[in-house]
Amino acid sequence: MKKHNFNAGPSILPRIAVENSAKAILDLNGSGLSLLEISHRHKDFQVIIDEANALFHELLNIPPGYHVLFLGGGASTQFVMVPYNLLQTQAAYLETGAWAKKAIKEAKIFGTVNVVGSSADKNFNYIPKGYTIPSDADYFHITTNNTIFGTEIKYDMDSPIPLVADMSSDMLSRPTDVSKYAMIYGGAQKNLGPAGVTFVIIREDILGKVDRKIPSMLDYKIHIDNGSMYNTPPCFAIYTCLETLKWIKGLGGLTTIRAMNEKKANLLYHAIDHSKMFIGTVNKEDRSLMNICFVMKEEYKDKEEAFMEFAKGKGMIGIKGHRSVGGFRASTYNALPIESVQALIDCMHEFEKTNL
Ligand SMILES: *Cc1c(COP(=O)(O)O)cnc(C)c1O
């Protein structure tokens, strides 16, 4: 049976990226050596990391003054590194979900955290509006896509202070105006590659403004000066990212990717909105294009488990909602084909026919 992979992360990757990664594990470019068996200082690996870096710059049209880093530790380590490197006295955060809360928790270790807006009052089913970004804070931190709750800030906002964005789950899902951000980071395992590598895009002029001493491994400047090779980078994960970046470029870049993502998300949201049984959980204008959350209406709540089983029988993978939302979550990342979205919709319709 064909499987439709709606996993939230780690999640579906372009098939070609998976196949080429498998080949590189067996034999890197006909060298007779596995990608897993060569030094990160080997010229063949330098070519890989350089190309991944160059493709990041090309696809996102990254302006001068920024660096792309490939680090370990996941997005969760960035929750620490950001305040360690940037928070002198006060930082502003937007509280839009579980990941934002974790970022806030770490920042509080280093200084005052001003939570300028929160959607905690409605279980994070919307993006706060009408807040003011304080001009005297060191930076403003946002989570552009809230993987668990299915909300997304789908535009690049203006900020009077350096804007720092956790883009773990919507990175490279649309064209992004990098010049609006001082820093963008994320774990690769949602939309870009395997777990193990964390991408960071950082404008160098925001560094060097805090008094504290920074341990080398947590110091952005050290990683910039060493080209992401201060220590051994996650070589294999970077290789798969490169393959994904090539796939995006081959499709025509991020404008094409966005159009594909909008088409898929609109198809599923339309089906949810026209369903008698299912209902979306998120404020419509804040809906994510990447993680689509829905539940069964009150009168059908007791059928959620039956639908899960039914869907599983039709090859649907990973559609169980996060425990803090319940119901269902279909993650429609870049690599998910529209046929899988259609298959899920067909599955919903078929279930409704016999259970309404
Ligand atoms: C998954 C996720 C994280 C955590 O990433 P790790 O790489 O596991 O640390 C952080 N932020 C967002 C938005 C995520 O989706």
Task: Check if 314 is active-site.
Answer: no
pLDDT, one tens digit per residue, over 128-166 is 999 999 999 999 999 999 999 999 999 999 999 999 999
Task: Reply yes or no on whether the pLDDT at 16 is more than 90.
Answer: yes
* Residue identifier of the C-alpha nearest atom 8 of ligand 1: 74
Are residues 261 and 236 located together in one domain of the fold? no
Strands 145-146 and 151-152: antiparallel
Nearest-atom index, ligand 1, CA of 187: 7
Which of 219, 251, 283 represents a domain boundary (last residue)? Answer: 251
Between the CA of 34 and the centroid of ligand 1 the distance, in Å, is: 29
Which of 251, 269, 300 represents a domain boundary (last residue)? Answer: 251
Instruction: Compute the Cα dihedral for 113, 91, 174, 12 and give only its sign.
Output: negative
CATH of the domain at 349: 3.90.1150.10
Q: Say if 134 falls within a structural domain.
A: yes
Between the CA of 196 and the centroid of ligand 1 the distance, in Å, is: 11
Q: Looking at residues 246-250, what average pLDDT do you find? A: 98
Ligand 1 site, residue 234, Cβ cutoff 6 A: no
Ligand 1 site, residue 79, Cβ cutoff 6 A: no
Task: Check if 247 is active-site.
Answer: no
Three-class DSSP category at 316: strand
Q: Give yes or no for a cis peptide into 63 (omega within 30° of 0).
A: no
Are residues 201 and 121 located together in one domain of the fold? yes
Nearest-atom index, ligand 1, CA of 143: 13
Q: Say if 7 falls within a structural domain.
A: no
- 285 and 271 Cβ atoms separated by less than 8 Å: no
Ligand 1 site, residue 257, Cβ cutoff 6 A: no
Are residues 161 and 261 located together in one domain of the fold? no
* Residue identifier of the C-alpha nearest atom 4 of ligand 1: 75
For residue 186, CA distances in Å to 21, 40, 79 come to 21, 22, 10
Are residues 329 and 186 located together in one domain of the fold? no
Q: Say if 147 falls within a structural domain.
A: yes
pLDDT at position 246 is 98
pLDDT at position 214 is 98
Which of 251, 267, 300 represents a domain boundary (last residue)? Answer: 251
Burial of 12 (0-12, 13-18, 19+ CB in 10 A): buried
pLDDT at position 87 is 98
Between the CA of 336 and the centroid of ligand 1 the distance, in Å, is: 19
* Residue identifier of the C-alpha nearest atom 5 of ligand 1: 75
Ligand 1 site, residue 144, Cβ cutoff 6 A: no
- 174 and 257 Cβ atoms separated by less than 8 Å: yes
Residue among 101, 149, 169, 333 to mutate when testing ligand 1 (max atoms within 8 A of CB): 169
DSSP 202-265: EEGGGSS---S---GGG-HHHHHHTTT-SS---HHHHHHHHHHHHHHHHHTSHHHHHHHHHHHH
Q: Say if 9 falls within a structural domain.
A: no
pLDDT band at 38 (very low <50, low <70, confident <90, very high): very high
Task: Check if 121 is active-site.
Answer: no
pLDDT at position 356 is 86
pLDDT, one tens digit per residue, over 58-115 is 999 999 999 999 999 999 999 999 999 999 999 999 999 999 999 999 999 999 999 9
327 CA to centre of own chain:
21
Are residues 307 and 219 located together in one domain of the fold? no
Between the CA of 275 and the centroid of ligand 1 the distance, in Å, is: 31
pLDDT at position 171 is 98
Nearest-atom index, ligand 1, CA of 188: 7
Are residues 232 and 272 located together in one domain of the fold? no
* Enclosing domain of residue 231: 15-251
pLDDT, one tens digit per residue, over 172-222 is 999 999 999 999 999 999 999 999 999 999 999 999 999 999 999 999 999
Residue among 147, 173, 291, 329 to mutate when testing ligand 1 (max atoms within 8 A of CB): 147
Are residues 75 and 53 located together in one domain of the fold? yes
Kindly report the average pLDDT of the chain as a whole number: 98
Q: Say if 5 falls within a structural domain.
A: no
Are residues 197 and 293 located together in one domain of the fold? no
Are residues 20 and 105 located together in one domain of the fold? yes
* Residue identifier of the C-alpha nearest atom 14 of ligand 1: 168
Q: Say if 216 falls within a structural domain.
A: yes
